[in-house]
A and B are shown apart, each in its own frame.
Chain A
Amino acid sequence: MSATREPITRFEGPAVAIARDNIDTDQIIPARFLKTTTRAGLGANLFADWRRDAEGTPRAGFILNRPEAAGARVLVAGWNFGCGSSREHAPWALVDFGFRAILAGSFADIFRQNALKNGLLPIALPADIHGPLVAHVAIRPGAVVGVDLVRRTVRLPDGREAAFEVDAFARECLLAGVDEIGYVLAQEAAIARFEAMR
Chain B
Amino acid sequence: MRTIIDKIWDAHVVSAPPGAPSLLYIDLHLVHEVTSPQAFDGLRARKIRVRRPDRTVATVDHSIPTTPRHLPIADAVAARQVAQLEANCREFGIPCAGRGQPDQGIVHVIGPERGLTQPGLTIVCGDSHTATHGAFGALAFGIGTSEVEMVLASQCLLQHRPKTLRITVAGRLGPGVSAKDLALAIIATIGVGGGTGHVIEYAGGAVRALSMEQRMTLCNMSIEAGARAGLVEPDDTTFEYLAGRPAAPAGEAWDAAVRRWRALATDDGARFDRQVALDGAALSPMITFGTNPGMAIPIDAVVPAPSSAAAPADRQALERALDYMGLEAGRPLLGTPVDVVFIGSCTNGRTSDLRDAAAIFRGRRVAAGVRAMVVPGSALVKREAEAEGLDQVFLAAGAEWREPGCSMCIAMNGDQLRPGQRAVSTSNRNFEGRQGPGGRTFLASPATAAAAAVTGAVSDPRRLS
Contact = CB atoms under 8 A, between A and B. Distances in A.
B434 interface: yes
A110 B228 contact: yes
B429 A86 contact: no
B76 to A, nearest CB: 10
Chain A CB within 10 A, most for which of B15, B150, B160, B433? B433
Contacts of A109: 196-197, 226, 228
Interface string B168-209: 000000000000000000000000110011000000000000
B147 A191 contact: no
B14 A88 contact: no
B106 to A, nearest CB: 14
Contact of B23 (A26, A31, A38, A184): A184
Contact of A35 (B25, B78, B292, B314): B78
Contacts of B84: 37
A195 B321 CA distance: 50
Given A21-B317, A37-B38, A106-B193, A114 B146 contact: yes
Contacts of A26: 429, 431-434
B19 A190 contact: no
A31 B33 CA distance: 13
A86 B431 contact: no
A108 B78 contact: no
Interface residues of B, number: 66
A86 B63 contact: no
A185 B75 CA distance: 38
B432 A88 contact: no
Contacts of B37: 37-38
Given A22-B193, A113-B144, A30 B292 contact: no
A184 B150 contact: yes
Interface string B430-455: 01111001100000000000000000
Interface string B33-45: 0110110011000
B69 interface: no
B153 interface: yes
Interface residues of A, number: 48
B237 interface: no
A188 B20 CA distance: 17
B412 interface: yes
Contacts of B313: 21, 78-79
Nearest to A118: B146
Contacts of B292: 22, 24, 83
Given A27-B431, A54-B438, A86 B142 contact: yes
A26 B428 CA distance: 13
A110 B125 CA distance: 12
B158 interface: yes
Given A30-B437, A83-B193, A190-B14, A110 B143 contact: yes
B419 A184 contact: no
B77 A169 contact: no
A59 to B, nearest CB: 12
B193 A108 contact: yes
Contacts of B160: 167
A129 interface: no
Given A109-B226, A180-B158, A184-B150, A86 B196 contact: no
Interface string A17-46: 000111010110011101111110000000
Given A37-B37, A86-B35, A79 B23 contact: no
A138 to B, nearest CB: 12
B14 A187 contact: yes
A58 interface: no
Nearest to A182: B46
A181 interface: yes
Nearest to B412: A31
B21 interface: yes
Given A26-B433, A80-B226, A108-B226, A181 B150 contact: yes
Contacts of B147: 113-114, 117
A65 interface: no
A181 B46 contact: yes
Given A54-B438, A78-B313, A88 B20 contact: no
A32 B128 contact: no
Nearest to A117: B146
A59 B160 CA distance: 41
Contacts of B158: 169, 180, 183-184
Contacts of A194: 14, 25
B433 A49 contact: yes
Interface string B150-173: 100111101010000000000000
B196 A39 contact: no
A83 B226 contact: yes
8 contacts: A88-B38, A109-B196, A110-B223, A168-B19, A180-B150, A185-B154, A190-B15, A194-B14
Given A38-B41, A88-B38, A187-B14, 18 more contacts: A22-B317, A26-B429, A26-B434, A35-B34, A35-B81, A37-B81, A79-B193, A80-B193, A83-B226, A85-B128, A87-B35, A108-B196, A109-B228, A114-B144, A167-B160, A169-B158, A190-B14, A194-B25
- Enumerate the 3 nearest inter-chain pairs by beta-carbon distance, A residue then B residue, closest first: A114-B144, A37-B37, A88-B144
